[in-house]
Structure 1
Amino acid sequence: MCGVAGILAGGLDGSSRERAICSMVSTLNHRGPDGWGIYCGVEMALGHTRLSIVDLQGGHQPMMSDRYVISYNGEIYNHIELRGDLEKKGVVFSTTSDTEVALKAFEVYGAEAFSLFNGQFAMLIWDRREKELVVARDRYGIRPLYVLEHEGGWYFSSEIKAFDTLSGYRRTMDMQALFEHALLWNTMGDSTVYNKIRSVSAGTYERFTTQGRASVHRYYEIGESCGVSPATLEEAGEALEELLLDSVRLRLRSDVPVGAYLSGGIDSSVITHLTSLWNRDRFKTFSVAFEDAEFDESFFQKEMVSRINSDHLALEVGYRHIDEHFLDAVYHFERPVFRTAGVPLFMLSEKVRENGIKVVLTGEGADEILCGYDSFKELKLLEFWGRDPASKMRPLLIKKLYPHLRHYSNPRQYGLMKMYYEGFLKEYDNELSGLNIRAGNNRILSNYFHKDYPLTFEKDRLIETARQVVPDNFSTWTLLQKNQFMEMKTLLSGYLLSSQGDRMSLAHGVEGRYPFLDHRVVEALFYFKDRFKLRGFSQKYLLGKTYGHHLPDAIINRPKKPYTAPDLKSFFHGGGLSEQAAHFLSEDVVREYGVFDETMVGRLVAKFNRGMPAEVGYRDNMLITFILSCQMTHHWARNPKKDPLDPAAMTVRIDDR
C-alpha cells in the first residue's frame, strides 16, 4: 500500500507547489516507508510514498507515460490477467508492476478500466494533454481518498492530516456532520466530520480541470447486478468455496511474504485455512491476546494455529497499553471513534512490521455480506414481531438475541428490553434499516455537546439523507439486503476499514487485504437467500456449514461474539481516570476545545471516578470513548505533526514544467 497526494491549480507558483506537495507527502510516510517521489507540472503536482510489494525495483511512483501520470495507492490483484489482455492489444510494458498495468489499462480503456480492476485502490491520473485530472476509488472504499478545496486550488490525499501542512489552512469540525457521525458511526454520502473536506465516494471516479470539479461518475454500486441465488444450501456452499478460494489466491500475489491475522473467530479462521491451502510453506499468523479474560480469545486462536501449523505471534494487551497508545491511534483514526478495538490492531501492526511482514490477509467484510452483525438479528426479530405486535410469545425471542450478554437472558431485565425494542416496531423498515437502532442508542450524545450547538435528534432528516445514497432498486430488496447495503455504506467503509483496517495497519507500513471483499464474492452473496446467511438467529450460517469440517469444533460451535477491547476500563484503571485521559476530559480542556458541555462531561467522569461497576454497558463505554477520542482529534488538528522527508529515500522526481 502507499500514500498519494495531489495539488491542482490554485494560486501557487511552481516552486511553492513543489514545496506544498513535499509537505503533504511527508505526513504520509508511515503508509509508504520504502520510498517517495513527486511529479511537478505547470498546473498539477503529484506525490507518492511507497510500500514496495509488487516489482520492488520497477514500480516506483509517480509513474509517467507519454500522456498520463499516475499516483496510485492500492493493489490490482488481477494485474497478471489484465497485462495479458493488454499485451494482445499491442501494449508494451517496461515493468512487472501492477501500477503500470493500471496506467496502461487507463490509456487503452479510459475510465472503463476501473470496472475491470479486481482490487482496492485510490488513484490520481493526470492527463498532460487535456489538462484533466481523474480521481477514482475502489468499489467498497477500502482505500481512502480525500478532497479539499482551498484558496482556489484542489488538494487530494490518502489521509486528512496531509491538508494540515497547507499554508493558510486549519482543520475545523462541521458540528452537524460530527453529530451525524455520532449517531451512525459515520457520515453519509461523501461528507466528513470536517469543514470543506470530503471523501471520494466508493465505486466512483471524478474529473477535475484547472477550473475545478467537472463531473462525478459512478461505475459500481452494491446490488445493481442481476444475481440469482443457488437453490440449495449445498449449492450455495459450493459457490462460496469456489469464489473465496480464488479470492485468497489472488490476494496472495506478492513479491514479499504474506501473513494473516487470526482473531479466533470463524471469519479469520476460514481465511487462514484457505491461505494454508495455497501456501505450502509455513506462514506467519498474528493475533491479539487480552489480559482481561472477558475479551481474550487466545484459546480459539491456539486451536486454529494447531490446525494449520502456522508460525504464530500473539501480542498481549492490557488496560494500560490501550490507554498509553490511544492518543497515537487517534492521530491515525483522524476522527472520533466509539470503541478502542482499533488500538490493539495499531499495536499489532507494529509487531507485524518488526517481524518482516508487509502484507496480511484479514476477515473484514464477512459480517456485512453474511449477516453477522447483531443488527441483522434485531431486524429479523422486529419483522417477525411486527406481523403480530400484540403477541406475547414473539417478543420472548429478545432473550435469545445476545447469548454472550447476561442481562439479555435475565428475567428481571426482560420488561425493559421489551419496551426498548417495541419502540422500533413501526420504524425499522425505512431507508435507515438497522441504523435506526444504532442512532437510537447514540442519540444520548446530543446531551453532551456544547449548548451553543442546537444539535437535536431528527429521524426524518437522517432518513432523507439516507434516501440520497440508496439506489433506485432499494425498495425491491429484502430487509436483510437493505441492511447489508447500509452497513457497507456506513459502518464498513467509513468506520471499520478506517479505524480498524487501513489506518491501523498502514500506521506501521502494513497492507491489509480482505478476501471477503472481492467484488465477485460480495455480489454473489448479496443475492443468496436470506436463510442461507441468517438461519434463525444463527449468523453467517452458510460460512459455518461450508467450512465446519475444516475448522476446530470449538470455533464452529462457539456463540458469535464481536471483536472488542476494553473501553472505559482502559481509562479508569488504578482507581481513577488515567493522567492522559484526565487531561483531555478536564474542565479547562473541554471548555477550550468547545465541542462538549464541560458540566455534563464532568458528571460522566465523576460517575466512574467513584468506582468501576462490575459490568459496564454499551452506552457508558461509547460515551467515554467517543468524547475522549473527539477531544484528541481536536488536539491533533491544532497540533499537527511535522515529519521531514529523507532526501535519500526519493526514488522519483519528474519535472514537467
Structure 2
Amino acid sequence: MCGVSGILGGHLDGPSRERAICSMVSTLTHRGPDGWGIYCSGELALGHTRLSIVDLQGGHQPMMSDRFVICYNGEIYNHIELRQELEKKGVTFETTCDTEVALKAFEVYGTDAFSLFNGQFAMLIWDRQKKELVVARDRYGIRPLYVLQYGGAFYFSSEIKAFDTLEGYRRTMDMQALFEHALLWNTMGDSTVYNGIRSVSSGTFERFTAQGRVGGGRYYEIGESCGASPETLEEAGELLESLLLDSVRLRLRSDVPVGAYLSGGIDSSVITHLTSVWNREKFKTFSVAFEDAEFDESFFQREMVSRINSDHLALQVGYSHINEHFLDAVYHFERPVFRTAGVPLFMLSEKVREHGIKVVLTGEGADEILCGYDSFKELKLLEFWGRDPSSTMRPLLIKKLYPHLRHYSNPRQYGLMKMYYEGFLGEYDNELTGLNIRAGNNRILAKYFHKDHPVTFEKERLIETARQVLPDNFSSWTLLQKNQFMEMKTLLSGYLLSSQGDRMSLAHSVEGRYPFLDHRVVEALFYFKDRFKLRGFSQKYLLGKTYGHHLPDAIVNRPKKPYTAPDLKSFFHGGGLSEQAAHFLSPEMLREYGVFDETMVERLVNKFNRQIPAEIGYRDNMLITFILSCQMTHHWAGHPKKDLLDPASMTVRIDDRQGTTGAVG
C-alpha cells in the first residue's frame, strides 16, 4: 500500500512545484517507507511513497508509458487475470506488478477499466497528450483520496495532513459540517469537516485540466446489479462460501507474508479459517486483549487460535495505553472520533510491523452486508411495532435488543427505553433509516458548541442531503437494504475504514485487506433475503449457519458484541482527568480553538472527576471522546509534523518539463 499526492495548475514555477510535491510526499512516508518518487511536467507534479508488496524490485512509481503516467495507492487483486486478457490484445509488460496492469488497462479501456478492477485503490492518471488528470477511487472508499483547491491550483492527497505543508495554508473546520459529522459519524456526500477539502466519492472518477474540473462519472454504485436472492438458506450459504473463499484467495496474493487480525468475533474467525484453507503453512494472527474484562475477548481468540493453529500474538491494552497513544492516533484519524476503538488497532499495527508482517486480512464489511449492526435490529423492531403502535406486547422486544447490556433486561429501565424508541415510530422509514437513531443520540452535542457557532439539528436538511446521494432504485429496496446502503455510505467508508482500518494499519506501514468487501460478495449479499441476514434478532445469521461447523461453538453461539475499547475511563486517572486530556480540555485550550462552550465542557468533566460510575452510558462516552479528539484535531492542524525525505531512498524522478525524461533507481 502506498501514499499518493499531486499538484495541478496554479502559479507555481517548476522548482517551487517540485519542492511542494516533495513536502507533501514527506507527510505520507508511514504509508510507504520502502521508496518514493516524483513526476514533474509543465502543469503537474505527482508524488508517491511505496509500501512494496507485489514485485518488490519492480513496480516503482510514478510509472510512465508513452502517453500516460500513473500514481496509485492500492491493490488490484485480479491483476493476473487482467494481465492475461491484455496480453491476448497484444499488450506487453515489463514488470509483474499490478501497477503496470492498472496503467495498461487504462490505456486500452480508458475509464471503463475501473469497473474491471477487483481491489481497493486511489489513482491519479495523467494523460500527457491531452494534458488531463483522471482521479479515481475504489467502489467502497477503502483507500482515501482528498482534493483541495487553493491558490489557483488543485492539490490531491491520500491524507489531509499533506495539505498542511502548503505555504500559507492552514486547514480550518466548517462548523455545520462538523456538527453533521457529529450527528452521523461522517459527513454526507463528498464533503469533509474542513473548509475547502472534499473527498473523491467512492465508485467515481473525475477529470481535471490545469484550468479546473472538466468532468467525471460514476462507474459503480451499491446495489446496482439488481440481483436475485437464492431461494433457500442452503443455496445462499453455498454461494457465500464460493464467493468468500475466492475473495480470500485473491487477497492472499503477495510477495511478502500475509497475516490476519483475530478479534474473537465471527467475522474475523471466518476470515482466519478461510486463510488456513488456502495457506497450509502456519501463519501469523494478531489480536487485542484488554486488561478490563468488560472489553476483553481473548478467550474467544484463543479458541480460534487452537482451531487453526496459528502463530498468535495478543497485545495487552489498558486504560493508560489508550490515554498515552490517543493524541498520536488522532494525528492519523485526521478528524474527531466518537470511540477510542481505533487506538488499540493503532498500537497493534506497530506490533504487526515489528514482527515482519506488511499485510493483514481483517473482517471489516461483514456487519454492513450481513446486518450485523444494532441499527438493523432497532429498525426491525420499529417496523414490527409500527404496524400496531398501540400494542403492549410488541415493544417488549426492546428487552431482547442487546443481550450484552444488562440495563436492557432491567424491568426498571423498560419504561424509559420504551419512551425513547416510541419517539422514532414515525421517523424510521425516511431516507436516513437507521441514521435517525444515531442522529437522535448525538444531537445533544449541539449544546456543547460555542455560542459563536449556533449549529442546529435540522433533520429535513439531513434528509435532503441524503436524497442527493441515493440511487434511483433506492425506494424499491427493503428497509434493511436501505440501511445497508446508508451504513456503507457513511459509517463504513468515512469512519470505520478511516479511524479503524486504513489509517490505523498504515500509520505503521501495514496494509489491511478486507475479503468481505470484494464487490462480488457485497453485490450478491445485498440482494439476499432479509431473513437470511437477520433472523429474528440473530445477526449475520447466514454466516453462522454456513461456517458454524468450522468454528468453535463458543464463537458461533456467543451473542453479538461490537468491538469497543474503554473510552471515558481511559482519560480519568486517580479521581481526575489525565494530564494530557486536562490540557486539551482546559479553559485556555477551549478558548484558543473556540469550538466548544467552556462551561458545558467543565460541567461534563466535573461529572466524572470524583468518581466514575460502574456503568457509563453511550452519550457520556461519546461526548468526552468527541470533544477531546476534536481539540486534538485542531492541535495537529496548527502543529503539523515536518518530516524529511531521505534522498537515498528516491526510486523514481521523472522530469517531463522539456520533453525529456530521466529516472533513478
TM range (shorter): over 0.9
Cα offset, 1:443, TM superposition: 0.2
Does 2:257 align with 1:257?
yes
Query: Which residue number corresponds to residue 35 of structure 2?
Result: 35
Cα offset, 1:574, TM superposition: 2.5
Number of aligned positions between the proteins: 657
Q: How far, CA to CA, are the matches of 1:103 and 1:489 in structure 2?
A: 28
Aligned residue type for 1:85: E
Query: Which residue number corresponds to residue 440 of structure 1?
Result: 440
Q: How far, CA to CA, are the matches of 2:94 and 2:378 in structure 1?
A: 54
How far does the alpha carbon of each residue in 1:113-134 deviate from its partner, in whole angstroms, 9 at most, with x for none? 0000000000000000000000
Q: Secondary structure at the match of 1:430?
A: coil
Aligned residue type for 2:396: L
Query: Which residue number corresponds to residue 9 of structure 2?
Result: 9
Query: Which residue number corresponds to residue 461 of structure 2?
Result: 461
Q: Secondary structure at the match of 1:280?
A: coil
| TM-score normalised over the length of structure 2 | 0.99
Q: Secondary structure at the match of 1:213?
A: strand
Query: Which residue number corresponds to residue 288 of structure 1?
Result: 288
How far does the alpha carbon of each residue in 1:570-625 deviate from its partner, in whole angstroms, 9 at most, with x for none? 00122210000000000110011000001100110011002111110100000000
Aligned residue type for 1:117: F
Q: Counterparts in 2 of 1:559-578, with a 5 A limit? A: 559-578=559-578
Does 2:305 align with 1:305?
yes
Q: Secondary structure at the match of 2:574?
A: helix
Query: Which residue number corresponds to residue 544 of structure 2?
Result: 544
Structure 1 stretch displaced more, 572-581 or 65-74: 572-581
Q: How far, CA to CA, are the matches of 1:590 and 1:346 in structure 2?
A: 27
Q: How far, CA to CA, are the matches of 1:529 and 1:604 in structure 2?
A: 45
How far does the alpha carbon of each residue in 1:407-426 deviate from its partner, in whole angstroms, 9 at most, with x for none? 10000000000000000000
Aligned residue type for 1:146: Y
Cα offset, 1:454, TM superposition: 1.4
Query: Which residue number corresponds to residue 354 of structure 2?
Result: 354
Q: How far, CA to CA, are the matches of 2:355 and 2:190 in structure 1?
A: 37
Aligned residue type for 2:132: E
Q: Secondary structure at the match of 1:383?
A: helix
Q: How far, CA to CA, are the matches of 2:537 and 2:365 in structure 1?
A: 19
How far does the alpha carbon of each residue in 1:398-438 deviate from its partner, in whole angstroms, 9 at most, with x for none? 00000000110000000000000000000100000000000
Cα offset, 1:376, TM superposition: 0.1
Query: Which residue number corresponds to residue 182 of structure 2?
Result: 182
Does 2:514 align with 1:483?
no
Q: Secondary structure at the match of 1:148?
A: strand
Query: Which residue number corresponds to residue 24 of structure 1?
Result: 24
Q: How far, CA to CA, are the matches of 1:493 and 1:210 in structure 2?
A: 29
Cα offset, 1:224, TM superposition: 1.1
Q: How far, CA to CA, are the matches of 1:622 and 1:404 in structure 2?
A: 19
Q: How far, CA to CA, are the matches of 2:108 and 2:368 in structure 1?
A: 35
Cα offset, 1:46, TM superposition: 0.3
Query: Which residue number corresponds to residue 48 of structure 2?
Result: 48
Aligned residue type for 1:497: L
What's the RMSD between the two structures over aligned residues? Answer: 0.4
Q: Secondary structure at the match of 2:351?
A: helix
Query: Which residue number corresponds to residue 662 of structure 2?
Result: none
Aligned residue type for 2:112: E
State the 4+ residue runs in structure 1 displaced beyond 2 angstroms. none
Q: Secondary structure at the match of 1:452?
A: coil
Which ranges of structure 2 fall in alignment gaps of 5 or more residues?
658-665
Which ranges of structure 1 fall in alignment gaps of 5 or more residues?
none
Does 2:336 align with 1:330?
no
How far does the alpha carbon of each residue in 1:447-471 deviate from its partner, in whole angstroms, 9 at most, with x for none? 0000111111111111111101111
Q: Counterparts in 2 of 1:618-633, with a 5 A limit? A: 618-633=618-633
Query: Which residue number corresponds to residue 519 of structure 1?
Result: 519
Aligned residue type for 1:102: A
Q: How far, CA to CA, are the matches of 1:11 and 1:369 in structure 2?
A: 46
Aligned residue type for 1:322: I
Query: Which residue number corresponds to residue 345 of structure 1?
Result: 345
Does 2:665 align with 1:637?
no
Q: How far, CA to CA, are the matches of 1:216 and 1:562 in structure 2?
A: 38
Q: Counterparts in 2 of 1:202-213, with a 5 A limit? A: 202-213=202-213
How far does the alpha carbon of each residue in 1:265-287 deviate from its partner, in whole angstroms, 9 at most, with x for none? 00000000000000011000000
Q: How far, CA to CA, are the matches of 1:574 and 1:121 in structure 2?
A: 46
Q: Secondary structure at the match of 2:508?
A: coil
Cα offset, 1:168, TM superposition: 1.5
Q: How far, CA to CA, are the matches of 1:622 and 1:150 in structure 2?
A: 34
Q: Secondary structure at the match of 1:360?
A: strand
Q: How far, CA to CA, are the matches of 1:31 and 1:219 in structure 2?
A: 27
Q: How far, CA to CA, are the matches of 2:601 and 2:644 in structure 1?
A: 37
Does 2:87 align with 1:87?
yes
Q: Counterparts in 2 of 1:358-397, with a 5 A limit? A: 358-397=358-397
Query: Which residue number corresponds to residue 663 of structure 2?
Result: none
Q: Secondary structure at the match of 1:456?
A: coil
How far does the alpha carbon of each residue in 1:291-349 deviate from its partner, in whole angstroms, 9 at most, with x for none? 00000000000000000000000000000000000000000000000000000000000
Query: Which residue number corresponds to residue 247 of structure 1?
Result: 247
Q: How far, CA to CA, are the matches of 1:30 and 1:224 in structure 2?
A: 36
Query: Which residue number corresponds to residue 591 of structure 2?
Result: 591
Query: Which residue number corresponds to residue 199 of structure 1?
Result: 199
Q: How far, CA to CA, are the matches of 1:357 and 1:42 in structure 2?
A: 40
Q: How far, CA to CA, are the matches of 1:44 and 1:55 in structure 2?
A: 27
Query: Which residue number corresponds to residue 67 of structure 1?
Result: 67
Q: Secondary structure at the match of 2:48?
A: strand
Aligned residue type for 2:386: G
Q: How far, CA to CA, are the matches of 2:226 and 2:612 in structure 1?
A: 53
Q: How far, CA to CA, are the matches of 2:453 and 2:149 in structure 1?
A: 25
Aligned residue type for 1:128: R
Aligned residue type for 1:380: K
| TM-score normalised over the length of structure 1 | 1.00
Aligned residue type for 2:41: G
Q: How far, CA to CA, are the matches of 1:224 and 1:297 in structure 2?
A: 37
Q: Secondary structure at the match of 2:22?
A: helix
Q: Secondary structure at the match of 2:611?
A: coil
Structure 1 stretch displaced more, 328-337 or 464-473: 464-473
Query: Which residue number corresponds to residue 317 of structure 2?
Result: 317
Q: Secondary structure at the match of 1:648?
A: helix
Q: Secondary structure at the match of 1:431?
A: coil
Q: How far, CA to CA, are the matches of 2:267 and 2:279 in structure 1?
A: 18
Q: How far, CA to CA, are the matches of 1:496 and 1:322 in structure 2?
A: 18
Cα offset, 1:216, TM superposition: 2.3
Query: Which residue number corresponds to residue 649 of structure 2?
Result: 649
Q: How far, CA to CA, are the matches of 1:128 and 1:475 in structure 2?
A: 43
Q: How far, CA to CA, are the matches of 1:422 and 1:176 in structure 2?
A: 28
Q: Secondary structure at the match of 2:7?
A: strand
